[in-house]
Structure 1
Amino acid sequence: MKLQQKKHKYMPIGYKLMLTYMFCIIIPISVIGVVSHSMYNESLREHTSTNVKGTLLQLRDNIDYKMEEITRISTQLYSDYDFYRNLRSYEEGWENYDRMSKKVLPKLDVAIQSTGMKIGMSLFLKNESIPEIYSNLSGLTGYQENSSIYQIYHMKRIANKSWYKEFPTEKYGETMKWWQIERDVDNNRISLLRRFIDTYNPLLPNEIGFLRINVGISEIFDSVNYTKIGKGSIILVKNEFGETLYQSGELPENYANEAELNKDYLTISEAFGNQSWKLIALVPTTILEQDAMKIRLLIILMCLICCVVFSFIGIFISRYFSIRINKFVYVLNAYREGDLHKRMSYRGKDEFSQIATALNDMGENIEALIKEVYLTQLQKKEAELEILQSQINPHFLYNTLSSINRLAKFGQNEKLQQMVLELAKFYRLTLNEGRTMIPVPTEIEQANAYLEIQKIKYGDRMEVLFDIDPDIWPYETIKLILQPFIENVLKHAWCGDHIHLRIVGRKEMDGILFRIIDDGIGMRQERIDQIFDPKGHMNTGYGIRNVDQRIKLQYGSEYGVTIFSRVGIGTSVQILIPARRSKREQHGEGV
């Protein structure tokens, strides 16, 4: 009875498999359903946007064509030298009449008749010898909807107008502006404004007149029709100030702000003209939602069917595997408790049969194997550390002895004595009673001893700055991780006669970061890559690779050496190790 009660204290493996199976099925199906629905909505929006954008492009091209027709008329007159010459003439009487009737007015007639649109042209001139003409049509004194007219006025009529004063500074051949001025808004028209200048010297423009060509807004935007997009849509034409020039379709009045409008309408815009005008289409989202709802219901139905079918399959699979897995769990629990004599019998010729056989065989020798592998790995790691340690500075002693020999030869006894003392200090710290791990202060002292030896050799040509944070003193490190990089700088990084070297030590979160910074010649990225991945360049950066391997072997792959360098600027080497206190420090804290 007690054993039976214990069995019901935990959830059976069959239920766990079933729940896991259901969890792994329901979530992917739900995700697939949501993603499919989202993708369909996005695809529908993109398809609608593409179609609407294509329609807007056609409308934009049509509007641009009509506006360019008006611009072409103004450019025709603007660039006509003979036309300018006649406008600047101050002859009166018969000459003036002959000039106007034969040279000026015919060109204005040709200009206003050159398009199929009904336009009104007003020419304002500084030359008051030319009489004002209020209409080119006999008996007409104003604009008529069914005809194109031109009028000639003197500049004094517009000299004090605000729109004239605010007109942009002239750039030859470029300055023009579409603007609703005077009674354009009331008449539902818009004007192209352009200054006439003396063409003798375009660099120093001298205004001789002003041209205004107005045209009906409905005539320019007659192609803008919301029915080309769809029922319930709206198309707006807005100027550079955000003001609506033309609208096709009814915009609801119950929207408090633009954010609410964007929720119910898909907004697509297309810029046109030279003044940042916009063609904006508002497509009701209800049109999109109708199609999306059908797809949403279909996706939900398919997901429910899949969940039901996969649930029945899951129940069968969980029962099949739970029975067999429980047998293995029983034997494995016995192995975990140290009872390696348990065996299991299994009938069948499937994979479970092979697992049972393997478990039975494993039980016979698993304990011996664990011990053997464990001891072997420990010995291998220690051997690798010893091999890497023994490879450090194989040529440093030879170079230093050569320097000592040179000092002795030239009788520099004081430097000779100092170098011998520093060399002895360096190797005393390096040997360190055969220990691999040393306190951080000892590593700094060891690097300083090496630098003292090099200072005897290089003198004032080498400047060194230690920037060590005292917070890292209580920690320990693998020995000889700084000296190889200092040696590498002095050996390869010289740029001219001097070199500056900075050694930084900081505690960063749970690690200690050393940096060796120089202002030498730097390295290319290809060179850095060869150091850490030689591939045929085994002699390249051997010392750097040695330090990196020792750190990774001791602490793990997340620690090691990183190099940043710029050619002609210098190199910064970063050495990251974990902040671990020495056993002596830990013992002191415990006491």
Structure 2
Amino acid sequence: MKSEKRHFSFGYKLMISYIFLLVIPVVFVGIFAYNTSVHSIQQQTTANIHGTLQQIRDNINYKTEDIMRLTDRLYYDRTLADYLRRYDDGWYSYDTTKSYLLPSLQSTIHSTKHNIALSVYIKNDTIPEVFFLYDGMDPLRKGPFYELYHLQRITDKEWYIHFPKEQYGLTTQWRQIESDKQFQNISLLRRLMDAFEPTNPQMIGFIKITVKISDILQSVDYQKIRKGSTLYIENELNEIIYISSENPNMTAEHIQSFANKDYLQIKEPIPGLNWTLVANIPNRELKKELFKVKTVTLLICIISIVVFSIVGVILSTYFSKRVTKIVSVLSSFQEGDLHKRLRYKGHDEFNQIASALNDMGENMNQLIQDVYISNLQKKEAELESLQAQINPHFLYNTLSSINRLAQFGETDKHRSMVSGLAKFYRLTLNDGLSIISIEKELQQVQAYIDIKKIQYEERMNFSYEIDEEVLKYDTVKLILQPFVENILEHAWYADRIHIRIVATAEPNGITFKIIDDGVGMSQETIDQIFIKNGIKIGYGIRNVDQRIKLQFGESYGVSLHSRLGIGTTAKLTIPYYNHSKIT
């Protein structure tokens, strides 16, 4: 007799099919969730570290720019240039040194909180030298001081001979020269030019400002990264010159050995110093987080498979018609449609599965919403960070001017400047909001101009052309004042300057123009201003451009048009925006 063929009943086949239809999606979702989580953690970790390194880099750049501003005081001082190009012996030389040169140097070293050593080398050998003898000691041990030398003392120095060719207003160099390496110092080098003939400026001296490397790199702190991380600085020769680590005995040799170990290395260049900021992060911390994600994902997948298998064995027949719906929902989730839901009557196990899938969709949808909100918060934080980068030296200079007016007893000017400063910062603070009405923005820049008129008096003229239609709209605050400040710092061509602000309502948005008749800029300089980490004089312009784009989009922002010897026009474009109606 033929033996009966063994076979599986339809119920078992249906059960097996049911199990596979659930196991496969669960495994797929688990793998997808795990890979997505791993990728997200890695990306977020790298982005956070990059962001921290950029903040450290910006802090370093801010400090170097603060030192650069000290050289600007001397570089653009025309009175100083007039004194230095006169060769008179005797009483005039002594009086020049005592009445102007030494007070100028004294004022320069006390206009910063940094401990600096200012050395000025001049070609005019009729002016006496003023200097100290170090006897092999660190020159910065005695605190802020200045020295005045004749240029012939350094003409045979290698660092002086190979100093880059002069581009007026731009040529500077940070280097470790002479005893700088021995005492962990660094010097900012810059020529001193006489711009009596703007088209052909002549060298009248050389400036050297020495500061502690640790002062410049104070923000380089490993605690800002992850546990066990190491931060260090490499110079242009790939030599490690500064280390921040939880291990106080960390050396360059130890760091070089990291290349053979399991470390994540992230670099951030510091263009102004020609250095590189490097972070070494141990991967073991990241692996711990990934292991947790893997364990949770695997556990959820196993639990889901077990639950679905039991339900399939007990109720395979009852649920055979509903499997398709479950797969459909899972497919929708995979395709990104998280709004699809299962609806069943009753209180059985299948209803629980439906509820679990619905909860999964809700949770995933909520996670997406949370990520969206997080991105919005990140955008606001970036906007606030850019807002905080506006240079505070205007406050320092204004307070210094107020102090001088008080000393000279100029009560009316003193009271006007204090009142103008209070109005300026009241409008600037704006109750902590980054959005301000255009009318207040114009009032704010007028308060700034009122302060500067006290300083420059008749040398500065100012005019407005404002379309009243624009006054009912809002803008990002502090977008006009940085341009006026930039003009007053860099655009003087003669003894007078005229600034005009124009605001017009146009079909595509609101346009502001800040126009001056100053020295102007070359197209090359304009192109470099809008390059990230570009030349230093464009820092405020890039700041305004980035804040406008961050708030309103890439189609808005700043553009510059300029001609040398004629002047510059800065054009700002923003949309028609009313914050109160949107909120």
Q: TM-score, normalised by structure 1?
A: 0.47
Q: TM-score, normalised by structure 2?
A: 0.48
Pair member with larger Rg: 1
